[in-house]
Amino acid sequence: MTTSKYSILLPTYNEKDNLPIIIWLICKYMDESKFDYEIIIIDDGSPDKTLEIAQELQSLYGSNKIVLRPRASKLGLGSAYIHGITHATGDFIVIMDADLSHHPKFIPLFIQLQIEQNLDIVTGTRYSGNGGVFGWDFRRKLISRGANYLSSVLLSPNASDLTGSFRLYRKHVLDKLISSCVSKGYVFQMEMLVRARQFDFTIGELPITFVDRVYGQSKLGGAEIVQYVKNLLYLFATV
Ligand SMILES: Nc1nc2c(ncn2[C@@H]2O[C@H](COP(=O)(O)OP(=O)(O)OP(=O)(O)O)[C@@H](O)[C@H]2O)c(=O)[nH]1
Ligand SMILES: [Mg+2]
């Protein structure tokens, strides 16, 4: 049994319907496997009042389990992670989406794999083994596959799912990666793995099933795709 503590970062923007379910699931799976953990919710002033729900959940589960680190306005996902990490007290950080696309049942499996192989990073992959994507239309699948294909051609990394964001990091490894990453937006996740290879950090992959967000609106549009490709080319040219 490990004595490590795990800080689970949940960035939220308009996730009031998903939050109670994801918190319940995280606690269920983490309590069952007896790992020490905290959940850090970083809400960016969601107009749907996600923060109020988070406060109710905190009084229900306790402030040692649920830590609130809200910000006043929507400052973006990348900086939400950084903000969360500065408040994390764990030896390991788990990063996941709060929209139920990432099932908490995988977290103990990430942890087991990390322990077995003494890894620096474990990354969920939708594109190898039993991994997969459910609920996406053809367009969305094509974009994700295309983004992964393009980046694997340009960057030839050692991972099959570069754009996924369900991962476990050793704390000091994540600190180092974040301080060396330059990109924002969707490409950020990819740059983290590319830099990890540069620094010779060890990476393990765990096949995950990814389901489309349960409640709320998707915001992936043309502008995000254009930005992704621009950032990717920048990385290609500089890394
Ligand atoms: N704190 C914070 N969280 C954010 C921000 N943007 C997105 N999120 C959260 O980050 C996670 C991932 O964002 P998503 O909107 O699910 O992004 P996606 O999975 O690419 O797209 P869809 O699920 O199709 O909408 C979710 O938990 C969001 O609520 C932000 O600016 N600030
Ligand atoms: Mg999502």
Indicate which CATH number applies to the domain containing 113.
Answer: 3.90.550.10
First to last CA, the chain: 39
- Measured by CA distance, the residue closest to atom 28 of ligand 1 is 12
Query: To test the ligand 1 pocket, which listed residue (8, 12, 79, 126) has its Cβ within 8 A of the most ligand atoms?
Result: 12
Cα angle: 16, vertex 48, 134; to 5 degrees: 45
In this prediction, residue 38 has a pLDDT band, given cuts at 50, 70 and 90, of: very high
Instruction: Answer whether residue 227 shows pLDDT above 90.
Output: no
**What is the tens place of the pLDDT at every residue in 206-216?**
999 998 888 88
Beta pairing partners, 43: 12
Provide the pLDDT for residue 135: 87
Beta pairing partners, 41: 10, 68
Instruction: Answer whether residue 81 shows pLDDT above 80.
Output: yes
Q: How far apart are CA 203 and CA 124, in angstroms?
A: 11
Provide the pLDDT for residue 145: 87
Q: How far apart are CA 122 and CA 124, in angstroms?
A: 7
Q: Mean pLDDT throughout 25-31?
A: 97
What is the chain's mean pLDDT, rounded?
A: 91
C-alpha distances out from residue 104 to 23, 46, 224, Å: 9, 23, 27
Whether 12 lines ligand 1, by a CB cut-off of 6 Å, is yes
Q: How far apart are CA 145 and CA 127, in angstroms?
A: 9
Q: Mean pLDDT throughout 181-191?
A: 80
In this prediction, residue 80 has a pLDDT band, given cuts at 50, 70 and 90, of: very high
Domain that holds residue 76: 5-238
Instruction: Answer whether residue 155 shows pLDDT above 80.
Output: no
Taking the whole predicted model, whether its pTM rises above 0.95 is answered as no
Provide the pLDDT for residue 30: 98
In the block, tokens 């980046």 appear at 151
**What is the tens place of the pLDDT at every residue in 100-137?**
999 999 999 999 999 999 999 999 999 888 888 888 88
C-alpha distances out from residue 60 to 44, 54, 64, 90, 92, Å: 22, 10, 11, 22, 25
Provide the pLDDT for residue 229: 81
Whether 220 lines ligand 1, by a CB cut-off of 6 Å, is yes
- Measured by CA distance, the residue closest to atom 12 of ligand 1 is 97
Q: How far apart are CA 101 and CA 207, in angstroms?
A: 14
Instruction: Answer whether residue 69 shows pLDDT above 80.
Output: yes
Whether 70 lines ligand 1, by a CB cut-off of 6 Å, is no
Between residues 95 and 77, which one has the greater pLDDT?
95
Please provide residue 39's backbone torsions phi and psi, each rounded to the nearest 5 degrees.
Answer: -115, 125
Instruction: Answer whether residue 157 shows pLDDT above 80.
Output: no
What contacts 211, CB < 8 A, 6 or more positions away?
A: 100, 101, 103, 133, 134, 135
Please provide residue 149's backbone torsions phi and psi, each rounded to the nearest 5 degrees.
Answer: -65, -50
Whether 11 lines ligand 1, by a CB cut-off of 6 Å, is yes
Tally the domains of the chain. 1
Instruction: Answer whether residue 98 shows pLDDT above 80.
Output: yes
Whether 98 lines ligand 1, by a CB cut-off of 6 Å, is yes
Amino acid identity of 77? Answer: L
Between residues 78 and 206, which one has the greater pLDDT?
206
Whether 99 lines ligand 1, by a CB cut-off of 6 Å, is yes
Instruction: Answer whether residue 176 shows pLDDT above 90.
Output: yes
Provide the pLDDT for residue 149: 84
